[in-house]
Structure 1
Amino acid sequence: MTRVNKENAAEFLQQFPIFQDLSPEELKQVEEIAISRSISKKTVIFSEGSEKEAVFFIRTGIVKAYKTDENGHEQIVSFLKTGDMFPHTGFFNAHPYPATAVAITPTSLLAIPVRHFERLMLSTPSIAIKIMRVLGDKIRELQDKLQVLSGQDVRNRVLSFLLMLAEQHGQQQADKIVINLPMTHQEFANSIGTTRETANRLLNQLAKDELLEVDRSRIIIHNLQALKEQRDA
């Protein structure tokens, strides 16, 4: 993990909802405590259960966040991309990191140390008030997503996850949507809480129906509308 140039950090941070309501002067104060980092592929950024030292913002790259159960099985929490922050509630509790985060491509991050940020909020309450309002909205959004996923059967979870990946990571190429995300079938299954065999069977059926193609480095969706219709049926 090496340090890189912090140029344009304030402009970058304002793209995040958590900082969108801050004034230029307030953003400059946040920029002053931020640290830029360059992360190599497969490098662990932090481990589940370790002391929370910073919250991270992705400039470029892809990060996988996962938890490990008592049997040592990996449960994917999320795939994070350029413009994402993690962990979301990192500034506002003293709990350890809730998951392990590892860079799955070379990644450039902006890190804000938690203790420095706490001191900044104490000295500038307006920053704390604006950020807490935004986080309240984010929590409600995550609760809604969890409710939707937990109420679905496995097939609909597969479809919903594919549609979420298309929205968050997809790139339109002609009449197709290409999701460039290096993800194994096991990681796909872990993301929706099912077995690899079940995920493979459902993905193979969607491929047989000519709705998509899947390999280790990308997913190509041939008919996004058909996926939506199957989920909503």
Structure 2
Amino acid sequence: MSDLVAALSRVPLFRELSPEELERLERISSLRSYGRKTAVFHEGTERETVYFVLRGLVKTYKTDEEGHEQIMNILKTGDLFPQTGFFDSAPYPSTAEAIVDTRLLSIPVHTFEQLILTVPAISIKLMRVMSGRIIDLQQRLHDFAGHDAAERVVLYLIKLALDYGRPDNTTEVPSVRIPIPLTNQELASAVGTTRETVNRLVSMLRKEGLIDSDRSGYTIFDKEKLLHRIRKDEH
């Protein structure tokens, strides 16, 4: 098995494909590497390629007229992007940028569209991915509704912990490590607030012993106590 076929077989969308179908994919796929903070593509440019994350992390974001970013999604190993816009000529809907050193699988978009039409297993899984994305966006809107900026930051940290967190055994109490090196500005752009607000909140949560942060990510020391800040205000 070639390195490329091995990489393809690890992508959730392709796991049920036959060896013949994987070999067909191999002929139209390639591997690409991106350094930290390197753009994969820019919002508004011609949509030429579909990507799958093999290793690393990618953020997608939109930029408003004043140049402010709003993070749309953080993509991990196995994720596909962009997740929408197939079978039309729309440009990339957002900018994609590697958060850390990242390895991607790339397939030309028109070739991938033909693959969707001819391999039912892929088309069905793709519909599930897109449906899950819609549900995720709806849940995010629901979670953020009625909460102030500080509460939205807390909710977003909890979501990151659920989606990307892993146990941190280096601390005295059971903790969750979020290995995503987001700056306070990026965290602010993800929830629609200012960096100053995030600076104040992160400083406060550190003093309360609920979280810690460094250049490589965040640590949540007590998720329940962090959630209690939200629940307390809802009652």
TM-score by length of 1: 0.85
Aligned to 2:92: 97
Alignment check: 8 A CA contact 1:30 1:117 kept:
no
Letter in 2 for 1:7: V
- With over 3 angstroms needed to count, the CA separation of the structure-2 counterparts of 1:24 and 1:146, relative to structure 1, is farther
Whole-Å separation in 2 of the counterparts to 1:230 and 1:94: 45
Counterparts of 2:187 and 2:230 in 1: how far apart (Å)? 17
Gap change, CA 1:183 and 1:113, over 3 Å in 2: same
Cα separation, 2, equivalents of 1:86 and 1:138: 11
Shift of 1:5: 4.3
Equivalent in the alignment of 1:215: 214
Which residue is equivalent to 1:176? 175
Amino acid aligned to 1:128? S
Secondary structure, counterpart of 1:8 in structure 2: helix
In the TM superposition, residue 135 of structure 1 has moved relative to its aligned partner by: 2.4
Q: Which runs of 5+ in 2 are unaligned?
A: none
| Count of residues paired in the alignment | 226
Higher deviation after alignment, 32-41 or 157-166:
32-41
**SS across alignment from 2:4:** coil
Cα deviation digits, residues 25-55 of structure 1 (max 9, x gap):
6852444422211222232110010011112
Preserved contact between residue 39 and residue 106 of structure 1 (Cα < 8 Å): yes
What TM-score comes out, normalization by structure 2 length?
0.84
Q: Contact (CA 8 Å) 1:10, 1:27: kept in 2 or not?
A: no
Contact 1:49 1:99 (8 Å CA) reproduced: yes
CA distance in 2, matches of 1:146, 1:185: 21
Indicate the RMSD between aligned Cα atoms, in angstroms: 2.4
Asked if structure 2 preserves the Cα contact closer than 8 Å seen for 1:212 and 1:221, the reply is yes
**Which amino acid letter does the alignment assign opposite residue 24 of structure 1?**
S
- Pair 1:36 & 2:34 matched: no
Work out the CA distance in 2 between the residues paired with 1:184 and 1:126: 39
2:50/2:112 contact within 8 Å kept: no
AA in 2 matched with 1:57: F
Question: Which runs of structure 2 are paired with 1:1-233 in the superposition (5 Å)?
Answer: 5-13=3-11, 15-16=12-13, 19=14, 22-24=16-18, 27-28=21-22, 29-124=24-119, 127-174=122-169, 175-233=174-232
Q: Please, which runs of 5 or more residues in structure 1 have no aligned partner?
A: none
The SS at the match of 1:70 is coil
Q: Distance in 1 between matches of 2:212 and 2:128?
A: 41
